[in-house]
Amino acid sequence: MIEYFKDLGTVEDAIVMRDKQTLKGRGFGFVKMRFETFNMAQENKFRIIKINSEKGHFINQKRVDVKSADDYVKPQPGQVINAPPNLNKTVPQYQMF
């Protein structure tokens, strides 16, 4: 996972969740990333969303659905986060309440 996500920013940590008894992957994991600015974080978030809706993300020949936990900067109540203008206009807006 680290190799895949390092193209999108600095990977601080990555973990695949495993069954405690079998140690087999449970089908999901977490990647913690760091960005120098809020704008860089948002640009890469929308880039990830756009890839999800187009060709998809593939890690070890498996398609994965990548979601953002939004832990870089939490929007203030009522703040609207828009996609950067250079991305496809079909990217949705997100609003924190």
Write down the pLDDT at residue 87.
46
Q: Among 36, 90, 83, 31, which Cα is nearest to 57's?
A: 31
In degrees and rounded to multiples of 5, residue 30 shows phi and psi of: -135, 140
Residue 74 has a pLDDT of: 57
Residues 10-17: contacts with CB under 8 Å, at least 24 apart: 10/34, 10/35
The residue ranges of the chain whose pLDDT is under 70 are: 70-76, 78-97
Distances (CA, A) of 45 to 13, 19, 28, 61, 97: 17, 29, 18, 22, 19
Taken in order of first residue, the domains within the chain and their CATH numbers are 1-65 (3.30.70.330)
Q: Report the alpha-carbon distance of residue 53 to residue 89 in Å, rounded.
A: 13
Question: How long is the chain?
Answer: 97
